[in-house]
Chains A and B, each alone.
With several copies, the nearest count.
Chain A
């Protein structure tokens, strides 16, 4: 495996200054670390949606399933169910995971599917030229809302807390080292790991300065404390100016969905015995 780099030769078409580059590097490093620890690279699978974020599937030289808009998560659960030896992660967009396919996010958290979901939350539909998403601030002027949106954003961290996610973190492309660390921890967590990444969109929502100014690294926060995590998550509502914490908000072990299935393979003979037994009972 030594000769494999993690980056394909595909031409990169993200805008200059796009936060996706940072996520790519952080993710590549986190995967490299896994590989260095002995996880075979070929057991890592990336699922992406459709959007700027999703180009990650073309750029990282690992197994990938470039899915459709909004539909990373159930694919990832399917892959993990098929083969629990695989490490499965999603790169999803905020339009993707919070609008088009929100239900899957809630249900993956609820069932504690053993996958890691990284949401490239640039708070805008990048690839379709800058419309508002569920995390755009109130009054956002995009091309579908030239007069400003009339819906306040929701808070994905709070949503994940109520949905039962066991690993909930927030990172930003303005803090790459911390982001890499969060991704590493997410990938190692047994269960559903959710990482909301406040990503800069250089073309449509370039608020790096805001994240720098308001952002701080969580410290002294006990991620085992559910109530504290709820309060921490509410500190910033994705709308008004307030301190924005980055780090691990919540972490708890829970029974893992895919581990509750019988993963033995049926032999052909077992299979025919089974069929015969069923037929006999129907006679």
Chain B
């Protein structure tokens, strides 16, 4: 079984993320499934950044504890990562910047001779990597051709010299997968939203969803998509309210701190029934916490944010493909059921890079809101489903009235007890309708061996690592993708027959386990991680075997 891990490290600001991505693309074109993790502190230049690209002949979505190749753009990369190296780890390093046992690449000399600027140093190292790994240079040419927009010739020249300078130490055969489109989670969410009919995206930058803003702002350069970055998150969500009220499918993106500022208007969506979608990227908290590291600590906050009670959709995709598919569905469901929706992700998923697989672009229902003929339009008409026909201004002859107060069917404020009850009941029925829609969409994913004695229960970005561990240990995995409305029946069914349920979560309190307990599902034991770093495969295996 092929399974290769490549660590690419260097100073922040030196393009480590791009270099790691090129490594991924090379291995992608070689016919492997890849996964890339990007680790960086909160600073712009000078600190240490690294990526780990893993390539295998099966789907992977997590790192292993050791790497096979280290591509060192500086000395730190060698010194800081000794614990990640094994006996046969090959170190390829820029010999002008580091010394090590391994293959030195005289980057500076090569650049000088090729009259190339210093930024092309990474191309030289990538070339050396390809040479050492036995990747045909034609693949380097293919990858550079699509991935390097400027100075292709010169970059290739430099890469060829790096390639030539390397001794072949590995013999990677061609694999049989892909090639896939490699996407970050943010990009996958963006594409999913676009598939779901996104008209507008509004956001204020915040790790780990800033790159979704950047991605969609790029799309908006060439396409009729409205992308706005306003003065703060309060403005973000209120602009979204305005856009959606007037008929544009709108999403916003943020992280915990920014979401806090949105909660008041999130609750407003509960009452005024304006469909909103929030992409919410978790990171290590509380408060500013570790802004560039991961966590799964905001589940219950998302389930309950905002005063008052109202139905909401919370989906927590587990990998790139689910992220794309469920972002599309979230936008579509928010509009069908006129509820606020949260796409709950985290730094691991947002900034990890992996192949987009089948199922990323599900068919979506047409939403048409039949408006009863005759008489004036009433925005909040009471219906059996709890869902009122939604029109947007202009509606000839009618006023469309949205209202944050308790209101009557026409949207006029009321303080009457009976109307308050009827409108609350309408909201509850809308929640039922939403649950009904969810039921049809397989809200609980299962994999691994049916009938296995141990079931790993997980949510969000721990899915791939759980899948791999379950594969290795012959366990089963159950993942509720939808967390609100809670698919209790499906989850119970998926878990039926489980002898031992082990919840795997990247938080301290066991938030999914809490949610299960509330719904009458008992988790037997938990494995938790709280240091801001995602589980490595062997780490999770060890931790599970300790308790299971």
Chain B residues within 8 Å of chain A by Cβ, number: 88
Minimum CB–CB distance from B364 to chain A (whole Å) comes to: 10
Question: Is the pair B394, A100 in contact by a Cβ cutoff of 8 Å?
Answer: no
Minimum CB–CB distance from A159 to chain B (whole Å) comes to: 13
Question: Is the pair A281, B146 in contact by a Cβ cutoff of 8 Å?
Answer: yes
Question: Is the pair B45, A15 in contact by a Cβ cutoff of 8 Å?
Answer: yes
Question: Is the pair B13, A78 in contact by a Cβ cutoff of 8 Å?
Answer: no
Question: Is the pair B242, A75 in contact by a Cβ cutoff of 8 Å?
Answer: yes
User: Is there a chain A Cβ closer than 8 Å to B428's Cβ?
Assistant: no
Question: Is the pair B223, A50 in contact by a Cβ cutoff of 8 Å?
Answer: no
Minimum CB–CB distance from B251 to chain A (whole Å) comes to: 13
Question: Is the pair A10, B226 in contact by a Cβ cutoff of 8 Å?
Answer: no
- Hey, which chain A residues are within 8 Å of B245, CB to CB? 65, 75, 78-79, 82
- Hey, which chain A residues are within 8 Å of B191, CB to CB? 275, 278-279
Question: Is the pair A82, B399 in contact by a Cβ cutoff of 8 Å?
Answer: no
Minimum CB–CB distance from B305 to chain A (whole Å) comes to: 15
Question: Is the pair B41, A68 in contact by a Cβ cutoff of 8 Å?
Answer: no
- A42 in contact with B232 given A81-B226, A131-B205, A274-B223 (CB within 8 Å): no
Question: Is the pair B412, A58 in contact by a Cβ cutoff of 8 Å?
Answer: yes
Q: In the assembly, what is the distance between CA of A202 and CA of B356, in Å?
A: 37
* Chain A minimum-CB-distance residue to B191: A275
Minimum CB–CB distance from A156 to chain B (whole Å) comes to: 14
Question: Is the pair A79, B231 in contact by a Cβ cutoff of 8 Å?
Answer: no
Q: In the assembly, what is the distance between CA of A129 and CA of B239, in Å?
A: 24
- Hey, which chain A residues are within 8 Å of B136, CB to CB? none
- A74 in contact with B238 given A143-B217, A280-B181 (CB within 8 Å): yes
Q: In the assembly, what is the distance between CA of A283 and CA of B147, in Å?
A: 9
* Chain A minimum-CB-distance residue to B237: A74
Map CB proximity to B onto A210-235 as digits: 1 under 8 Å, 0 otherwise.
Answer: 00000000000000000000000000
Q: In the assembly, what is the distance between CA of A103 and CA of B232, in Å?
A: 9
Map CB proximity to B onto A243-283 as digits: 1 under 8 Å, 0 otherwise.
Answer: 00000000000000000011111100011101100111111
User: Is there a chain B Cβ closer than 8 Å to A104's Cβ?
Assistant: yes
User: Is there a chain B Cβ closer than 8 Å to A134's Cβ?
Assistant: yes
- Hey, which chain A residues are within 8 Å of B207, CB to CB? 128
Residues A74-89 near B (CB distance < 8 A) = 74-83, 85-86
Interface range on chain A (Cβ under 8 Å from partner): 35 or more
* Chain B minimum-CB-distance residue to A204: B44
Residue in B236, B238, B395 whose Cβ sees the most chain A Cβ within 10 Å? B238
- Hey, which chain A residues are within 8 Å of B181, CB to CB? 279-280, 282-283
User: Is there a chain B Cβ closer than 8 Å to A207's Cβ?
Assistant: no
Question: Is the pair A86, B246 in contact by a Cβ cutoff of 8 Å?
Answer: yes
User: Is there a chain B Cβ closer than 8 Å to A242's Cβ?
Assistant: no
User: Is there a chain A Cβ closer than 8 Å to B187's Cβ?
Assistant: yes
- Hey, which chain A residues are within 8 Å of B240, CB to CB? 78
- Hey, which chain B residues are within 8 Å of A100, CB to CB? 204, 231-232
- Hey, which chain A residues are within 8 Å of B224, CB to CB? 262-266
- Hey, which chain A residues are within 8 Å of B228, CB to CB? 81
Question: Is the pair A81, B243 in contact by a Cβ cutoff of 8 Å?
Answer: yes
Minimum CB–CB distance from A116 to chain B (whole Å) comes to: 15
User: Is there a chain B Cβ closer than 8 Å to A34's Cβ?
Assistant: no
* Chain A minimum-CB-distance residue to B245: A65
Q: In the assembly, what is the distance between CA of A169 and CA of B458, in Å?
A: 55
User: Is there a chain A Cβ closer than 8 Å to B66's Cβ?
Assistant: no
Question: Is the pair A42, B231 in contact by a Cβ cutoff of 8 Å?
Answer: no
Question: Is the pair A82, B46 in contact by a Cβ cutoff of 8 Å?
Answer: no
* Chain A minimum-CB-distance residue to B214: A143
Q: Which of A85, A203, A275 contacts B45 (CB 8 A)?
A: A203
Q: In the assembly, what is the distance between CA of A57 and CA of B401, in Å?
A: 8
Map CB proximity to B onto A11-50 as digits: 1 under 8 Å, 0 otherwise.
Answer: 0011110000000000000000000000010110101001
- A129 in contact with B210 given A74-B238, A81-B242 (CB within 8 Å): yes
Map CB proximity to A onto B197-229 as digits: 1 under 8 Å, 0 otherwise.
Answer: 101101111110010011001111101111111
Q: In the assembly, what is the distance between CA of A63 and CA of B242, in Å?
A: 12
Minimum CB–CB distance from A33 to chain B (whole Å) comes to: 18
User: Is there a chain A Cβ closer than 8 Å to B257's Cβ?
Assistant: yes
Q: In the assembly, what is the distance between CA of A79 and CA of B200, in Å?
A: 12
Residue in B225, B246, B356 whose Cβ sees the most chain A Cβ within 10 Å? B246
- Hey, which chain B residues are within 8 Å of A76, CB to CB? 242
Residue in A75, A76, A86, A131 whose Cβ sees the most chain B Cβ within 10 Å? A75
Among B124-132, B402-410, B468-476, B521-529, the stretch in contact with A: B402-410
Q: In the assembly, what is the distance between CA of A79 and CA of B238, in Å?
A: 10
User: Is there a chain A Cβ closer than 8 Å to B397's Cβ?
Assistant: yes
Question: Is the pair B246, A40 in contact by a Cβ cutoff of 8 Å?
Answer: no
Q: Which of B44, B210, B241 contacts A126 (CB 8 A)?
A: B44
User: Is there a chain A Cβ closer than 8 Å to B385's Cβ?
Assistant: no
User: Is there a chain A Cβ closer than 8 Å to B337's Cβ?
Assistant: no
Minimum CB–CB distance from B231 to chain A (whole Å) comes to: 5
Q: Which of A8, A78, A99, A101 contacts B241 (CB 8 A)?
A: A78
Q: In the assembly, what is the distance between CA of A67 and CA of B271, in Å?
A: 10
- A64 in contact with B238 given A126-B44, A266-B223 (CB within 8 Å): no
- A68 in contact with B257 given A16-B45, A45-B393 (CB within 8 Å): yes
Question: Can you spell out 16 A-B residue pairs with CB atoms less than 8 angstroms apart?
Answer: A4-B397, A13-B43, A66-B405, A82-B242, A83-B247, A100-B231, A103-B231, A103-B235, A107-B230, A202-B45, A262-B223, A264-B224, A266-B199, A274-B194, A275-B195, A283-B180
Q: Which residues of A come within 8 Å of B, CB atoms?
A: 1, 4, 8, 10, 13-16, 40, 42-43, 45, 47, 50, 52, 55, 57-58, 61-71, 73-83, 85-86, 99-104, 107, 125-129, 131-132, 134, 143-147, 202-204, 261-266, 270-272, 274-275, 278-283
